Amino acid sequence: MKAKELRELTPEELKQKLSSLKEELFNLRKTIYTAKLEKPHRIWQLRKDIARILTIFKEWEKKNVPEEKKNSDRKSN
């Protein structure tokens, strides 16, 4: 899934998507040890999609930090 498509989703939809991707990744990792995996590249895709979603959440966090907090963090460093 592209980052542009993910940015169009609401935060609630992204959280649901993230939990379903994590669950699917867990299940795929289990099948690696119990049976032969038909699409091993799917694990790579899931990891990348999870990282994209987490990146979008971080971008939103940075955007929503009040200006005073940013300035106080700079002074303390």
Domains in the chain: ranges and CATH = 12-76 (1.10.287)
pLDDT one-digit tens code per residue, 9-58? 888 999 999 999 999 999 999 888 888 888 889 999 999 999 999 999 99
Which pLDDT score, from 0 to 100, does residue 77 have? Answer: 53
Residue with tokens 């989703």: 9
What are the tokens at 8? 């169009």
Which pLDDT score, from 0 to 100, does residue 42 have? Answer: 92
Which pLDDT score, from 0 to 100, does residue 64 have? Answer: 84
Question: Which DSSP letter does residue 40 get?
Answer: T
Q: Looking at residues 61-66, what average pLDDT do you find?
A: 82
Positive or negative torsion for Cα 26, 32, 36, 38: positive
Specify the amino acid at residue 44. Answer: W
Could you tell me if 6 and 56 are in contact, meaning their C-beta atoms sit under 8 angstroms apart?
yes
Which pLDDT score, from 0 to 100, does residue 2 have? Answer: 84
